[in-house]
Structures are given as structure tokens and as C-alpha cells.
Structure 1
Amino acid sequence: MPRVLHDAVLTTRHGGGELVVEARFAVVFRQRGTPPAPFPTSCGRARTVGDLCADLADVPRTTVYRHVGLLAEAGVLEVVGEQRVHGAVERTYRLQRARTVIDRDMAASMSLEDHRAAFTTGLGVLLSEFNAYLDREGADPFADSVGYTQSTYWLTPDELADLIKQVQAVMTAHRGNGPAAGRRPYLLSPILFPTGGTVTEGDA
């Protein structure tokens, strides 16, 4: 199984449902936290367990605490600060981004079943986040420009590479944005895969 969050966590400790919870942690850290001084934004955003409980209101608090502990133990979350709150120690964590991404080398080494499991987890995260959005007070999919349209594109390998390059350029241009007045976090999750074989000259 690939290290979607951390290979030890995936293979030895949790089933698919709990993995979705941990994958949602990655979404929360990326979208809703604030950069922990003196670390740059690229190092990940900082959240306390209390912050996570507020952001993941549909997840039981005991589950949040348990998963934070497991992810910290596995090195997926790093403690970047501590403070006493009402006599108890409150820790601030940041996400180790390198442990939450399937890079090209890892993707190339994954089996078909690994891809199936990772994709299923990704869809589980999308469903959980979308349900959390719909349950939020004031949710308005039309006003919020929510979209989930699917389209089919006929592309040669060169055209596919060009499309990917263009999409990546648009996303990269805004990826460094941080929290600021007038901004809100949006979850964008591109999915791309072929749905049929290559057309030959005789079939065209």
C-alpha cells in the first residue's frame, strides 16, 4: 500500500474508513491553518487539536485525538509549539507534506490495487468534505460556484501533456495564496484517467 499519509499507518493500523479521517486531516491542514512562525507557508499550516475538532465537527472528538496521536507518532504531524491552557498542555501541529503526497516515483511503483485503494480514499475524502460543507450553516452551492461536472476529451499524448501543463500552471498560480481578508478555502480535486483505448487510423 502506498504512503498516502504514511505507509505504517495505512498497512498496520487502520481500515479504509479511518484512513478517510486521516486524509481529511491533510485537507484541513492545507486549507484552514495559518503558517507556524518561523516556518514558511510551504512547510505546512499549524493547527491545534481543538482547531481540528472545530473543522471536523462531524468526527467525534475522541477519534480526532486518537488519530492525531497516531499521525504524530508516525511522523506525519510534527509538534511546532506547546502552551498551557487551563492547566493542560495544548500542542500545535503542522503537516509533513512530503508524507501526504503520492509522487511520480511512488505512483510508478504502485500496483493496480494500490491505485484502487488510494482513489477510493480520495473519493471518500471528497464525499466527507462535501457533506460537511452542505451541513455548514449558510451553504449555498449555486452562490459558492460549486461544481462537479465531468467531461470527456479526445487527446493525443502531446495534447494530453499540453492540457496537464496548462491546468497545472493555473493551479500553481494560486496555490501559494494564504488566508486573507475576503478569501475562503476551496477544495479543488482534479481527476484524470482514460476511459477507452487509443483510436487507430483504420478506426478513425
Structure 2
Amino acid sequence: MAKRRLRTGPTAALPARPDRSELLRLVRLADPGAREDGDDVVAVDVRVHAPVEADPGLVGGELEQVWACRVTAEGPLPVDYFDRFLAEGLAFRLGGLAVCRGEVTDPADESLPGGPAVILPVRPAAEELMELLEGEVEQEEEFVFTAGGVRVLVVPEKGQPPAAQELLPFAAELTALELRGDDQAKLATLALSLSDALNGLVVDRWRFRVDRAEDLLPPSS
């Protein structure tokens, strides 16, 4: 694949060639309906091309060896930046970097905005949510809470992320509890606890489904 296309991306630049079955498993965290198509993986509106060896210059020499998985649209433009999120989420889980429009980013950089979210079929009442948060709870605004160094924002979930399809038969509109804080392990534990209590599911900032706290931490952690 031409270097220019890889640099345009979105591309997951990985330090090692991912196993084909592992790549499919990871894509299915973002879209449970993803399937193999030859050597590629096809998810909703996108195609994840089979990894190709690329020049380390693709990521400015940040990796000694680069295997590149480019994500391209299948038909209309992907909704809600799904193609970019997919490339970044794959790079995060496989210890790599993301390339989009010539810009190289490290998805594991903790200074980047965003965090996990709990997707719910029903918006919880403020009192119910406050009882589930740990420590002293302060309600900053109608839908913003802080407790134990964690900020919780209750917002309508934008769009319908494929990872949350199982909730859609039970909800006309999904709600997201967006969690923000410096301690990623703490955010992960709280997200899973809230999900269990409120019959939701946890996704990371790229809308990949999360079932274990360690899935929200970089592979090297």
C-alpha cells in the first residue's frame, strides 16, 4: 500500500504483525458484527486492511519496525469518526501509534482528553447515581458529579456506537456516563461497577467494549 495512503490514514502503526484472529477479536470489540473478508476485516462502514510492513519513517522513527493497518470507508463516510476511532483503539491495544492526515499520535498518552464511559439504556436519577459513587459526592451541575477525584458527566450518547447495539432494542436514546480523572485504574473499576449496577456496558474513549479493568490500561502497564 502506498506510503502516502498510509500517512493519510487513519492507520494503526504497530510494532509487530498482529495475529489475524487477534485483529478480528479486537475489531469486534468496536463492532460485534465485524467479519473477515479475505485478509481484511470489515466492520460497519469500514474496512481494516491486512497489515503490511511499512517504513519506520511513517511514524517518524518512533518504532523500530512498523506493521500498518489502514482503515478505509466502505461506501458513505463513517459516522462519528468511527474509522479514526477504530485505528486509534487498535493502536492502543497493540502497543502502537495512530497516523491520521500525516499526524502521528500515541493513544496511550494520558494527557489526551477523554476517558471511559458507561452506556446505559435508561438515564439514572441523580439520587440513584449518587448512591453508587464512592466517597463524598458533590453535584456541580444538574448532570455533573464529582466523587473521590472522579468527575462523572451524564450526557446523551452521541449516535449509536456499534459496541452498544445490544442495548438498542431496549432504548430509543442511549445515555452515557462519561468518567474523567487522573487514575485510569480507578476509572476502570468504577466504570465496571456502575455498569453492573445500572445494566449498561463499558466502552473506552474509542467506543471499544471493555469487560475487564486492565483493558483500559496500555499493554505495557
TM-score normalised by the chain length of structure 1: 0.24
TM-score normalised by the chain length of structure 2: 0.23
Greater strand percent: which structure? 2
Greater helix percent: which structure? 1
